[in-house]
């Protein structure tokens, strides 16, 4: 059964089903992997925000990152927001991605229109792929301010999972679209 007009298929408009098939196992695994891609870099940023010695001197933390100060809120907030956005990928394979949970004001209990999930997720996948695609070249770039000790390599490794975030999100988005298409 479709929410679209009965003539939608005849007019060349994609019709969406209200009873999609369950997400395939590969999509569930990809969604969980996407949600985990932000964890290593986020933990490093939280340590940075707490002023721990994670590659920068205290002078660099103070002068370049404003830590202590507003920089703490920025780097920890960036970690929290990144992880929250990554966790939204799970909505593409879970029931709350099809029906808005009842505890959410105004929208609770309503069905999620497939394009309302697919369009932002697809745009996010493209943006993330573009943003992080150059990151495998981390070791070929000079970093200012310079990291101390082995931290340049450690940070490079901690940020590499972000390269997978966009492609994983794209794959899960495609799966969601296919399951909801009639």
8 A C-beta contact, residue 31 and residue 86 = no
CB 175: neighbour CB atoms within 10 A? 19
8 A C-beta contact, residue 32 and residue 62 = no
pLDDT of residue 120: 97
8 A C-beta contact, residue 64 and residue 145 = yes
For 5, residues 6+ apart whose C-beta sits below 8 A from its C-beta are 11, 13
For 177, residues 6+ apart whose C-beta sits below 8 A from its C-beta are 114, 118
User: What pTM, to 2 d.p., does this model score?
Assistant: 0.84
pLDDT of residue 160: 96
8 A C-beta contact, residue 9 and residue 60 = no
Copy the structure tokens of residue 163.
């390269």
At 148, give phi and psi (nearest 5°).
-100, 145
Q: Quick one: 135 exposed, middle or buried, by C-beta within 10 A (0-12, 13-18, 19+)?
A: middle
Q: Among all chains, which residue has been given the structure tokens 């932000």?
A: 38
pLDDT of residue 182: 67
Domain boundaries, the chain: 25-180
- pLDDT truncated to tens, each residue of the chain (182 aa)? 344 444 444 544 455 556 778 899 999 999 999 999 999 999 999 999 998 878 888 888 888 888 888 989 999 999 999 999 999 999 999 998 888 888 889 988 889 999 999 999 999 999 999 999 988 888 787 776 677 778 889 999 999 999 999 999 999 999 999 999 86
DSSP annotation string for 129-154 = HHHHTTGGGGGGS--SSPPPTTHHHH
pLDDT of residue 8: 46
């Amino acid at each position: 059964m479709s929410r679209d007009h009965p003539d939608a298929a005849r007019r060349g408009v994609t019709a969406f089903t209200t009873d999609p098939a369950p997400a395939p196992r590969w999509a569930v695994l990809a969604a969980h992997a996407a949600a985990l891609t932000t964890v290593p870099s986020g933990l490093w940023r939280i340590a940075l925000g707490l002023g721990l010695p994670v590659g920068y001197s205290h002078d660099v933390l103070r002068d370049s990152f404003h830590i202590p100060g507003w920089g703490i809120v920025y780097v920890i907030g960036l970690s929290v927001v990144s992880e929250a956005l990554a966790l939204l990928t799970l909505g593409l394979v879970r029931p709350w991605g099809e029906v808005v949970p009842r505890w959410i004001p105004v929208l609770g209990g309503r069905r999620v229109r497939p394009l309302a999930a697919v369009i932002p997720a697809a745009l996010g996948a493209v943006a993330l792929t573009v943003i992080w695609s150059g990151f495998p070249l981390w070791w070929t770039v000079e970093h200012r301010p310079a990291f101390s000790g082995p931290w340049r390599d450690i940070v490079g490794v901690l940020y590499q999972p972000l390269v997978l975030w966009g492609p994983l999100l794209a794959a899960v988005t495609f799966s969601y679209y296919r399951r909801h298409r009639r």
